[in-house]
Amino acid sequence: MTFTLGVDLGGTKIAAGLVAPGGIVTRRMSAPTPATEGPEAILQTIVDLATRLTASAPGAAIAGCGIGAAGVIDPVSRTVQFATNSLPGWTGTRLGAEIERRLGVPVATVNDVHAHAIGEAVHGAGRGERTVLVIAAGTGIGGALVIDGELQAGRHGAAGHYGHVPAAEAAGLACTCGGGGHLEVIASGPAILQAYLRRGGSAPRDTQEIFARADSGDSVAAEVIDVAATALGRSIGGLINSLDPDLVIVGGGLAAAGPRWWNTVESQARAEAMGLLAGCRIVPPSLGADSAIVGAASLITSSTLLTPLSL
């Protein structure tokens, strides 16, 4: 049987799967991302996973490979335009061309969050909807807009950096991008942790513990969560006003944090949205950990997923 290979390439893990028509992942494998070993080691890990997957399914063949990768990925040149220091030397990597040469099949590439968005919009919670806005809130805040199955990638493939829009709640806080006052420094997981410490909270193990403390009556924990969720919700409401989507999918690690966070995000988004748009559905994702694998594979099975860039 012929499959498409979908790859989700993150800073700590590379997951790959054999994807059948309809976005069904039949087999999956993963390996740690050899980030400190450089691009060559990362490329070889992708090839090794592809080899292991096909060997595990006798008679399987790969018709093409879609990759959702960390960094700013130009989907036309299939090159990494920019990456943070979590992947040293990754910027400039000819990801698509190199994997195509090594596997001998067509290869398409996008950013990993874009791949998540495509998976959810085409085969997940947004299936059947025309305009789908996807927000991923976790270690960072990103997302994508998918219209009629096409990812709106932007001029440089960088569209969807929603964490770097201004947020009043973040005024005066420096952002990792070099700017300041951006949504990500008040509403992301690490931002919640930092806000809790600034307010005098005793050092938690992680952000998850702050949510547990809020549920146990810690007023400082409850306040920083409410501020973060309010900032994100208001920003989503602004995006609804700007983009008028059929559906908003909110995923990422924070989306599983519980009703305190989710209810505040949703209520604030609706309060910010114009009356005509306040009924826009806001839902969680449905594909789980497979969303980026499915979205990346969809790049190969559909020729209309990527909006061309004018280079």
Question: Is 135 in contact with 247 (CB distance < 8 Å)?
Answer: no
CA dist., res. 264 & res. 228, Å (int) = 9
Q: Give the pLDDT band of residue 203 (cuts 50, 70, 90).
A: confident
CA dist., res. 11 & res. 116, Å (int) = 15
Which residues, at least 6 apart from 182, have a Cβ–Cβ distance to it below 8 Å?
163, 164, 165, 166, 167, 170, 173, 175
Q: Give the pLDDT band of residue 85 (cuts 50, 70, 90).
A: confident
Please report the pLDDT score of residue 172 as a whole number. 95
For the record, the structure tokens of 14 come out as 């590379």
Q: Give the pLDDT band of residue 48 (cuts 50, 70, 90).
A: very high
Q: Tell me: the pLDDT tens digits for 246-271? A: 999 999 989 989 999 999 999 999 99
Of 118, 101, 50, 108, which is closest to residue 78 (Cα–Cα)? 108
Please report the pLDDT score of residue 307 as a whole number. 41
Please check the confidence at residue 227 and state whether its pLDDT lies above 90.
yes
Domains in the chain with CATH codes? 2-111+289-301 (3.30.420.40), 125-283 (3.30.420.40)
